[in-house]
Amino acid sequence: MAGDSFRNRKNGFQTMDGNKMTPAGMSTGKIIGIVALIIVVLIGVFGSTYQIREQEQAVLITLGKAQPVTNPGLHFKIPLIQKVKKVNTTIQGFSIGYNMDSNTTNEAESLMITSDYNFVNVDFFVEYRFGDPVKAVYASKNPEEILRNISQSCIRSVIGSYPVDEVLTTGKNEIQAAIKEMIMQDLEKQDIGVQLVNITIQDSEPPTAEVLEAFKAVETAKQGKETALNNANKYRNEQLPLAQAQADGVIKDAEANKTQRINEATAQVARFNAMYEEYIKNPTITRERMFYEAMEEILPDLKVIIESPNGDIETIYPIESFSGSGN
């Protein structure tokens, strides 16, 4: 009996219905139940909340029905009934035509043909973001891959409509805008919850070194042309104000000369009219005065000798006495 009592205390004992009892008097089934209850409680506590960061959105799935959750912060859900899938809403991107990790060219993507049947290597970088989290999760299995395929198709279509010279030099901005517009139209038709932010040409060059050098020479010549045009425009902009100022000066001088001549002519006319009025009153005296004034102006030092009518007396008078200037 003593030995049995010792074994019962050490290993526990069985009840009448066969359940094994612990030393504290608890059965194994009760322990399992308690553990299961604790697990359920933990699941309920930790599985009923989820966190959305600032640059995330979530899709709350309730028995197969999806609902977007866009507000950042702590949210609650029903454990084991509701599921949450998070979507990154930051601007993301991928390259076309080159590998960003190894910085090597991928000719399968970059090699294209232009409208004038020339080959050219063009590299692009595509930036996008998820605008609709529900469509991003359910509309397609891999929305980024769909965007990549659409981008490659649009790029080849647009590049194929431009000559090689514009692809390599002057038409890059126009080409980028055309490709972006075409991609956005295709994404609207696909409706996969992806928004195109931007697409840019990273590099464009001919596929061979010889052709590359030729196009570089063309580009250098065009840049030289632009520089010469800019210098010419600069010189024109500098000279035009100077020439305009000189022209304004000539015009002002002419206007001043014109005014002076008009004033002089007006004064002469007034003087002539005054003399004419005097002449009408005293013709003889006026003629003599005009004669003496003219002689005084022509020969200021001339002396006039006047003989009396009977020829007996001769008197010498300076000419000033007749004109009145000597008084």
This prediction has a pTM of 0.49
Helix axes 283-298, 209-281, angle to 10 degrees: 130
Query: What is the per-residue pLDDT for 183?
Result: 95
Query: In this predicted model, which residue has the larger pLDDT, 322 or 158?
Result: 158
* Percent of the chain residues past pLDDT 70, beyond the cut: 70
Question: By mean pLDDT, which of 91-100, 132-141, 314-323 is the weakest?
Answer: 314-323
Residue 186 has pLDDT above 90, yes or no: yes
Please state the rounded mean pLDDT for residues 101-128: 88
Give the angle 62-64-69 at the CA atoms, nearest 5°. 50
DSSP string, 264-282: HHHHHHHHHHHHHHHHHH-
Structure-token pair, residue 168? 């390599």
Q: What is the mean pLDDT of residues 158-187?
A: 92
pLDDT in tens, 33-84: 766 666 655 555 555 666 777 777 777 677 767 667 676 767 666 666 677 7
For residues 264, 270, 275 and 276, what is the CA-based torsion angle, rounded to 10 degrees? 120
Instruction: Name which residue leads in pLDDT, 2 or 121.
Output: 121
Mean pLDDT to the nearest integer, 150-154: 94
Question: What's residue 45's pLDDT?
Answer: 52
pLDDT at residue 101, rounded to an integer: 81
Confidence of residue 305 (pLDDT cuts 50, 70, 90): low
Mean pLDDT for 100-117 is 85
pLDDT category at 26 given cuts 50, 70, 90 is low
At 196 the pLDDT is 94
For position 5, what pLDDT does the model report? 45
The predicted pLDDT at position 84 comes to 74
18, HSE (Cβ side, Cα atoms, 13 Å): 0
Mean pLDDT for the stretch of residues 274-286: 80
Angle of helix 172-190 versus helix 143-159 axis, rounded to 10: 140
pLDDT at 201: 93
Q: Return the CA Rg of the chain.
A: 55
- Name the range with the highest mean pLDDT among 50-59, 102-111, 313-322: 102-111
Among candidates 49, 53, 59, which has minimal Cα distance to 72? 53
Give the side-chain half-sphere CA count within 13 A for 287: 3
Task: Give rounded-to-5 percent helix, strand, coil for the chain.
Answer: 55, 25, 25
**pLDDT bracket for residue 8 (50, 70, 90):** very low
Residue 152 has pLDDT above 60, yes or no: yes
DSSP calls for 180-246:
HHHHHHHHHHH--SEEEEEEEEEEEE-SSHHHHHHHHHHHHHHHHHHHHHHHHHHHHHHHHHHHHHH
Q: What is the pLDDT of residue 268?
A: 87
Average pLDDT over residues 250-272: 89
pLDDT tens-digit map of 12-22 = 444 444 444 44
CA dihedral sign, ordered 50, 53, 54, 55: negative
Q: Which CATH architecture has domain 93-206?
A: 2-Layer Sandwich (3.30)
Residues 139 and 252: their CA atoms lie apart, in Å, by 78
**Residue 187 CB coordination number (10 Å):** 21
Displacement of CA 220 from its chain's centroid (Å): 25
Mean confidence (pLDDT) of the chain: 77
Nearest-5° Cα angle at 144, 143 to 149? 100
Q: Which two tokens stand for residue 163?
A: 């000559």
pLDDT of residue 302: 61
> What is the pLDDT at residue 7?
46
pLDDT digits (tens, 9 = 90+) for 225-249: 888 999 999 988 888 888 888 888 8
